[in-house]
């Protein structure tokens, strides 16, 4: 992967950047995505945020060798702490768990006052991200599943608006994704069959475990999700 040829996953993420936007890529990993978007004229400027020294230095080097120093700024800091209100139109957070993405958005939501689009790619627990968007009045406007190297990723795109708009069956669609559920393509079927198989294995182990309030609660949650997914896949 390089700035001329992104991974399939990041290329899909980049496709949701509206031309002319100023972007911030949080957890930028070599700044490949900002360099790609700016070099192609999709984004006008970019901020690449990294919390760890190694990735921060790698991102700085990538921007320098790409001759994009004047258009991309690499900043070291935690989450949205690397941006100020009004600096960017679009925030991208890709390649992290859904709980961490939600935590980053929650901790830095005062920085989002002028942001018009969020492009989020959780590796797991996309439902956490959908719940955060719903609770914070961000309207989910698109979703996509992408398969790469044997892994399936969800990409969520949100804008300011009526957060309830895409939802008809809240519990089911927060878990599975309202747009993805309408499509139910081959990747969708594969992803949720894999999840179902994994949950059923966990449930068997929980049934063997000593009963306490925590295991009973976990069993209840898993059974509920299993019933939802079975109903969709049948």
**Tens digit of each residue's pLDDT, the chain (234 residues):** 777 789 999 999 999 999 999 999 999 989 999 999 999 999 999 999 999 999 999 999 999 999 999 999 999 999 999 999 999 999 999 999 999 999 999 999 999 999 999 999 999 999 999 999 999 999 999 999 999 999 999 999 999 999 999 999 999 999 999 999 999 999 999 999 999 999 999 999 998 888 888 888 999 999 999 999 999 998
Q: Which residues, in sequence order, are CB contacts of 175 under 8 Å at separation 6+?
A: 127, 225, 228, 229
Asked whether the CA dihedral 76, 82, 88, 94 is positive or negative, the reply is positive
User: Domain for residue 128, yes or no?
Assistant: yes
Q: Which domain holds residue 60?
A: 8-166
39 CB-contact burial (10 Å; exposed 0-12 / middle 13-18 / buried 19+): middle
CA distances from 82 to 13, 112, 219 (A): 20, 12, 40
Crossing angle (nearest 10°) for helices 186-208 and 213-233:
150
User: Domain for residue 124, yes or no?
Assistant: yes
pTM of the model: 0.96
Q: Are residues 142 and 198 in the same domain?
A: no
Q: Are residues 103 and 153 in the same domain?
A: yes
Q: Are residues 110 and 146 in the same domain?
A: yes
Letter string b/e over residues 158-196, b meaning 16 or more CB atoms within 10 A of that residue's CB = bbeeebeebbeeeebbbbbbbbbbeeeeebbeebbeebb
Q: Are residues 126 and 215 in the same domain?
A: no
DSSP state string for 134-200: HHTTEEEEEEEEEEETTEEEEEEEEEES-TTTT-SSHHHHHHH-HHHHHH--HHHHHHHHHHHHHHH
Asked if residue 230 lies in contact with residue 192, where contact means CB atoms within 8 angstroms, the answer is no
123 CB-contact burial (10 Å; exposed 0-12 / middle 13-18 / buried 19+): middle
* Distance (Å, whole) CA 59 – CA 53: 10
User: Domain for residue 173, yes or no?
Assistant: no
User: Domain for residue 157, yes or no?
Assistant: yes
Q: Are residues 160 and 196 in the same domain?
A: no
Q: Are residues 45 and 120 in the same domain?
A: yes
CATH code of the domain in which 125 resides: 3.40.50.150
Token pair recorded at residue 113: 């006052």
**Looking at the 3D structure of the chain, how many domains does it have?**
2
Task: Please enumerate, as own/partner, the contacts of 165-172 that have beta carbons within 8 Å and a separation of 24 or more.
Answer: 165/139, 165/140, 166/139, 166/140, 166/141, 167/134, 171/228, 172/228, 172/232
Residue 225, SS3 per DSSP: helix
* Distance (Å, whole) CA 31 – CA 106: 23
């Amino acid at each position: 992967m390089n700035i001329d040829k992104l991974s399939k996953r990041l290329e899909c993420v980049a496709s949701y950047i509206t031309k002319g936007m100023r972007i911030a890529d949080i957890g930028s990993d070599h700044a490949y995505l900002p360099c790609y978007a700016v070099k192609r004229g999709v984004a006008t400027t970019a901020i690449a945020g990294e919390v760890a020294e190694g990735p921060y230095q790698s991102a700085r080097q990538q921007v320098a060798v790409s001759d994009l120093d004047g258009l991309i700024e690499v900043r070291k800091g935690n989450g949205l702490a690397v941006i100020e209100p009004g600096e960017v139109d679009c925030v991208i957070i890709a390649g992290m768990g859904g709980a961490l993405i939600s935590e980053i958005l929650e901790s830095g939501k005062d920085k989002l006052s002028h942001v018009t689009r969020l492009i989020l790619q959780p590796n797991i627990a996309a439902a956490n991200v959908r719940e955060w968007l719903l609770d914070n009045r961000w309207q989910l406007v698109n979703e996509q599943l992408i398969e790469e190297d044997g892994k399936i990723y969800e990409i969520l795109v949100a804008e300011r608006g009526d957060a309830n708009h895409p939802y008809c069956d809240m519990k089911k669609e927060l878990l599975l994704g309202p747009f993805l559920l309408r499509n139910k393509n081959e990747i969708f079927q594969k992803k949720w069959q894999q999840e179902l198989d994994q949950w059923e294995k966990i449930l068997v182990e929980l049934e063997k475990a000593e009963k306490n309030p925590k295991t009973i609660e976990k069993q209840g949650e898993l059974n509920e999700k299993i019933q939802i997914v079975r109903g969709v896949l049948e």
